């Protein structure tokens, strides 16, 4: 061996070693995320055109605006949310998981445009994006969340992310799930089910990482932080209630949407290891919507039609127990 080959220097940059895992949940999450990979282009949204043409205009407007709202939230999460969470990672494998999460959030944001380009005219699409970019309630929740991303503590950023992924998305998810439960707009809804499956992993993983840090706080610090957390959720819910009334009053679905939202707010708190805030349970949610969530994908031919069976193998959604610490 030459003298040059024996030269060593202080480490400037470390290689990631997946054979030396500090937190086994990182490896488990990476495998779950990669096995669930999908792309919107494989879902034949055009097969929904017959259903779309039969929908009343008010419902079409509600459907499109719900998806426009989801586009804004996924844009926020893909551009800023996952990026800032990487900066507070405990392990290099956690950074890798957030890289994956960030990419899939971009896939989610793009998938809504695939639906728009299939169902809506160019003029309608321009009006939808103008609406979401100027809607007071959409901009308010984006501002609340993003300000925490910009200046919050590492734990506050994780809370904001979990509230976004496991709660705020669901006022928009309600619409396609309702149609799916009634066997309508099934391909657009299949995209939403693929997104929900991803968000389930994201929310539980980030919630788990939050709990690691939260458990390191003193009892007094935990109490103070918990007060902040519930105050934030109240603030977000108050805005979300106004948004839901604007979007759903005209079709008469508002009360059901808010029940669904409160149920998922409790799920977000559970991901964070906290007690539920609202009395709503799965039994209170419209069974048609719950049926939409539980509906299995059709056995689509892989080369013609792909639903939530678009997997590299059978994949179960992650459960809260997967992240018990």
Share of the chain above pLDDT 90, in %: 84
Contact 66, 247 (CB under 8 A): yes
Domains in the chain: ranges and CATH: 23-298 (1.10.620.20)
Residue range 209-237, pLDDT digits in tens? 999 999 999 999 999 999 999 999 999 99
- DSSP secondary structure, 51-107, as one string: HHHHS-HHHHHHHHHHHHHHHHHHHHIIIIIHHHHHTT-SSHHHHHHHHHHHHHHHH
Nearest CA to 209 out of 29, 62, 58 is that of 29
Of 31-45, 82-96, 281-295, 300-314, the poorest mean pLDDT is in 300-314
pTM of the model: 0.88
Buried b (16+ CB within 10 A) or exposed e, 25-53: bbebbbebbeebebebebbebebbeebbe
Active site residues: 112
Of 60-64, 184-188, 259-263, 296-300, the poorest mean pLDDT is in 296-300
Nearest CA to 96 out of 157, 23, 11, 194 is that of 23
* Residue of 233 and 282 predicted with greater confidence: 233
């Amino acid at each position: 061996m030459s003298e040059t080959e024996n030269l060593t220097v202080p480490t400037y940059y470390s290689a990631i070693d997946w054979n030396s895992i500090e937190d086994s949940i990182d490896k488990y999450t990476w495998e779950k995320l990669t096995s669930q990979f999908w792309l919107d282009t494989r879902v034949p949204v055009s097969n929904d055109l017959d259903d779309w043409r039969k929908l009343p205009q008010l419902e079409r407007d509600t459907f499109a605006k719900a998806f426009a709202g989801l586009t804004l939230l996924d844009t926020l999460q893909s551009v800023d949310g996952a990026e800032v969470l990487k900066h507070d990672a405990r392990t290099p494998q956690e950074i890798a998981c957030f890289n994956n999460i960030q990419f899939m959030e971009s896939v989610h944001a793009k998938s809504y445009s695939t639906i728009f380009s299939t169902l809506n005219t160019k003029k309608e699409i321009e009006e939808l994006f103008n609406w979401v970019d100027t809607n007071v309630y959409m901009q308010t929740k984006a501002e609340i969340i993003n300000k925490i991303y910009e200046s919050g503590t590492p734990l506050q950023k994780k809370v904001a992310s979990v509230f976004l992924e496991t709660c705020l998305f669901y006022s928009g998810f309600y619409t396609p799930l309702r149609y799916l439960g009634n066997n309508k707009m099934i391909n657009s809804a299949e995209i939403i089910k693929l997104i929900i499956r991803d968000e389930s992993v994201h929310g539980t993983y980030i919630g788990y990482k939050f709990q690691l840090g939260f458990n390191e706080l003193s009892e007094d610090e935990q109490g103070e932080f918990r007060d902040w957390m519930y105050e934030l959720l109240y603030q977000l819910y108050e805005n979300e209630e106004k948004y839901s009334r604007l979007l759903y009053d005209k079709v008469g679905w508002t009360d059901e949407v808010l029940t669904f939202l409160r149920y998922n707010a409790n799920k977000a708190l559970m991901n964070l290891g906290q007690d539920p805030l609202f009395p709503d349970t799965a039994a209170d949610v419209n069974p048609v919507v719950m049926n939409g969530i539980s509906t299995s994908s059709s056995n689509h031919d892989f080369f013609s039609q792909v639903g939530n069976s678009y997997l590299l193998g059978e994949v179960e959604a992650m459960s809260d127990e997967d992240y018990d610490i």
